[in-house]
Amino acid sequence: MIAIRDMQESDTADIIMQVMWAYPSWLHSLFNIDLSATDTLSTKCKQVLADQFSNPNTFYGGYVALDDDNIVGHIWLYLMENDTTSKIQAQILSIYVRPDYRGKWIHRKLIVAAELWAKAKECSALSGMVVCNNKLALKSAIKEGFTVTRYEVYKPI
């Protein structure tokens, strides 16, 4: 049985490792991430998580999915102002479900928890970014009621 609970400070190492696996390899070097050693993980991620757990006015929040005591997924959120509407919305910073747990609707439970968090923070929307070639994530987002609004334009030179 999968349980969803608030992220806790003791989850930091697991969350950072999942964030690393969720992002493409080019981001690993950008954020100085070494997949072989948790000691060299992104300083920025550690700082944000530290603020999240120590600052009562933090803009960050999140949830983990647990199978017994094992973290099998997470959703990490932050509050931001929408560029178009100037209203506060909840942005999905990261959502991840371990490959061996995918297809079990865990992402849906995480999205529901995120929606409740956003409503409690009086947000006008829940948003996130999806890499345009991640068709499975786009399809899943649409099934969860998200609208695809734009893509980043990218041209390698």
pLDDT of 132 over the 80 cut:
no
pLDDT of 54 over the 80 cut:
yes
Q: In what order do the strands lie in the sheet with 70-81?
A: 2-6, 60-67, 70-81, 88-97, 126-128
C-alpha span between 16 and 71 (Å, rounded): 12
Q: Are 91 and 97 in contact (CB under 8 A)?
A: no
C-alpha span between 115 and 100 (Å, rounded): 25
Global pTM reads 0.80
Q: Are 59 and 78 in contact (CB under 8 A)?
A: yes
Max mean pLDDT range (45-54, 62-71, 128-137):
62-71
Which pLDDT does position 2 carry in this prediction? Answer: 94
- In eight-state DSSP terms, residue 100 is G
Q: Where are the domains of the chain?
A: 2-143
E strand segments, the chain: 2-6, 60-67, 70-81, 88-97, 126-128
Ramachandran quadrant class, 7 (left: phi over 0; alpha: psi -120 to 50; beta: rest): beta
pLDDT digits (tens, 9 = 90+) for 65-107: 999 989 999 999 999 887 777 889 998 888 999 989 998 999 9
| Domain 2-143 class in CATH | alpha beta
pLDDT digits (tens, 9 = 90+) for 1-45: 899 999 999 998 888 888 877 765 545 555 555 555 444 456 777
Give the SS3 label for residue 64.
strand
